């Protein structure tokens, strides 16, 4: 089994490092000082109170690696479209593409969504490039619940969590997803196979679509946001708008809004990825987390006034931050 981690930063390094330690043939696609450090010294993976040095092929040029059985995409969602063409050399006829990114995956409406089947979400996949190059039939869903930090070039530290739910878009227990589940389990992760992976994807997006932009706008951590009655009410309203859309598309939420917010608030002192990107003056995952809700609202005829307002604010916040 050959697995390429495309975007071997914090979470990609965690996944790939543990898979390599379990004996899987892993390779990394990365860039910059992080890539250089891994090429020179290996990946230093800090997990469970110990540090492990993992040495695997590392490159910025996917063509050096050749076709893979699985390609884990662990880039920031808004970075994926710009990297898709470079993924072609990694693909053979049966390569599976695991979308380990935030928000909805490019294959979301593959044989799904009734009247919306085949719809391309431009907020996620501008112009349908991922759909055409990667192919929706290659897609496997993966929800990223754990957190990890890139504390220095070549050094990844596990923060919390080991759960990565997996699922075929069709919901079927295929051979390829069973093999992936077995590899992830051997690597020390919890990787349950879900027949309803879209429900799982929405459950994470449900919190991200409100808490991430609110955090970036206020510079507050999750526990502070959730504890503030007025701000919590705003988050609740955005989630309600998204819930109406999701349920029209057949999604079932296994927990309620208050429980979802309480779960996020229990993570004390945590800065969202969007806030971290803002502080580093990097582009944020705005369209994949929030723009997609507006797009789906327009698609289904459901107004999203609160989402629209926060989306306008966070887009302007990003613009002013990048110009500073």
For 143, counting Cβ atoms within 10 Å of its Cβ (0-12 exposed, 13-18 middle, 19+ buried), the class is buried
Sign of CA dihedral 78, 81, 87, 92: positive
Check if the beta carbon of residue 225 is closer than 8 Å to that of residue 231: yes
Residue 11 CB contacts under 8 Å (≥ 6 apart), including other chains? 74, 100, 144, 146, 147, 148
Q: Which of 183, 186, 79 is nearest to 140 (CA)?
A: 183
Among all chains, which residue has been given the structure tokens 């250089």?
36
Catalytic residue among 2, 76, 204, 271: 204
Q: Could you give the CA distance from residue 123 to residue 110 in angstroms, rounded to a whole number? A: 16
Catalytic-residue membership of 204: yes
Q: Which residues contact 35 (CB under 8 A, 6 or more apart)?
A: 28, 58, 59, 60
Query: Catalytic residue numbers?
Result: 204
């Amino acid at each position: 089994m050959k697995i390429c981690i495309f975007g071997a930063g914090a979470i990609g390094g965690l996944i790939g490092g543990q898979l390599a330690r379990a004996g899987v043939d892993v390779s990394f696609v990365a860039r910059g000082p992080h890539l250089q450090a891994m090429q020179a010294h290996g990946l230093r993976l800090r997990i469970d109170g110990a540090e492990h040095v993992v040495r695997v092929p590392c490159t910025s040029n996917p063509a050096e690696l050749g076709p893979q059985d699985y390609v884990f995409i662990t880039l920031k969602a808004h970075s994926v479209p710009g990297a898709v063409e470079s993924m072609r050399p990694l693909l053979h006829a049966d390569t599976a593409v695991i979308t380990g990114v935030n928000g909805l995956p490019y294959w979301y409406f593959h044989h799904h969504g009734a009247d919306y089947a085949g719809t391309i979400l431009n907020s996620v996949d501008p112009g349908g490039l991922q759909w055409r190059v990667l192919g929706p039939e290659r897609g496997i869903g993966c929800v990223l619940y754990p957190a990890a930090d890139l504390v220095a070039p070549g050094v990844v530290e596990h923060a919390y969590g080991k759960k990565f739910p997996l699922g075929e878009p069709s919901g079927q227990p295929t051979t390829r997803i069973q093999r992936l589940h077995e590899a992830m389990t051997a690597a020390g992760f919890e990787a349950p196979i879900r027949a309803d992976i879209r429900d799982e994807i929405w459950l994470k997006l449900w919190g991200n679509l409100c808490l991430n932009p609110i955090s970036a706008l206020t510079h507050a951590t999750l526990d502070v946001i959730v504890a503030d009655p007025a701000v919590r009410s705003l988050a609740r309203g955005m989630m309600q708008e998204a819930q109406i859309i999701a349920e029209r598309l057949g999604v079932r939420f296994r927990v309620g809004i208050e429980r979802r917010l309480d779960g996020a608030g229990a993570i004390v002192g945590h800065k969202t990825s969007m806030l971290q990107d803002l502080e580093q003056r990097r582009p944020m995952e705005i369209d994949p987390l929030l723009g997609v809700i507006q797009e789906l609202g327009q698609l289904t005829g459901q107004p999203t006034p609160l989402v629209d307002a926060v989306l306008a604010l966070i887009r302007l916040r990003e613009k002013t931050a990048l110009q500073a």
